[in-house]
Structure 1
Amino acid sequence: MIIGNEFSNKSKLVLKQIGQISEGDINKKLSVKNVNRELELDRTEIKNFLEYLEELGYIEIVTIGGPFLYGHIKITDKGLQKYTNLDD
């Protein structure tokens, strides 16, 4: 569970990683394993962040399964817009 109403720094890091790997392509299926490679979050953390980002409409969970519960995700138009507007 993500607590607080601000888009947290960790949420930004996760969305930045997703945005970079997607290369601006909303149709590209991204492996959650590849997304988490640099983030090094544990299974519960990455699951919670992905669910949170999906609730906000920034990503779509495409497949279930694999070491992180979710196998693949896609960034949405809304997520891509948020990613491009994130401060560094």
Structure 2
Amino acid sequence: MIIGSEFSKKYQRILKEIGSLSQQDTSKQIPVKKINATLEWDRTEIKHVLEYLQELGLINIKTIGGPLLYGHVSITESGLKKYESLINRY
């Protein structure tokens, strides 16, 4: 959910994790299981957050399947810019 120009803490947290794991590479497929290793969210929660980030154009869902419904995601150029702005804020 976006309130004004602020991303909620939940979306910031997962985008930071995805951005970190991507190593600035938009072609890298990141396992959702690896993303969730730190977050420890349930399947429904991570599913909804990933779908929302994809709608915003910050990530792409690459594969479907596995215990968390989605197997892999990749970050987009827009996602990298948002990630960089988040990590440079603090």
Q: Matched residues in 1 for 2:22 and 2:36: separation?
A: 13
**What is the CA RMSD across the aligned residues, in angstroms?**
1.1
What is the DSSP-based 3-state SS (H/G/I as helix, E as strand, rest coil) of the residue aligned with 1:26? coil
Distance in 1 (alpha carbons) for counterparts of 2:36 and 2:49: 11
- Spell out, residue by residue over 1:31-83, the C-alpha distance to the aligned partner (whole angstroms, 9 max, x if none): 00001100001000100110010000000000000001000000000000000
Q: Please, which runs of 5 or more residues in structure 2 have no aligned partner? A: none
Is the strand fraction higher in 1 or 2? Answer: 2
1:8 corresponding residue in structure 2: 8
Moved over 4 A (4+): none
Ranges in structure 1 where 5+ consecutive residues have no aligned partner: none
Does 1:77 find its partner at 2:77? yes
Counterpart-to-counterpart distance in 2, 1:41 and 1:70: 13
* SS of equivalent to 2:67: coil
Q: TM-score, normalised by structure 2?
A: 0.91
| Correspondence 1:13-32 to 2 at 5 A | 13-32=13-32
**TM-score, length-scaled by structure 1:** 0.93
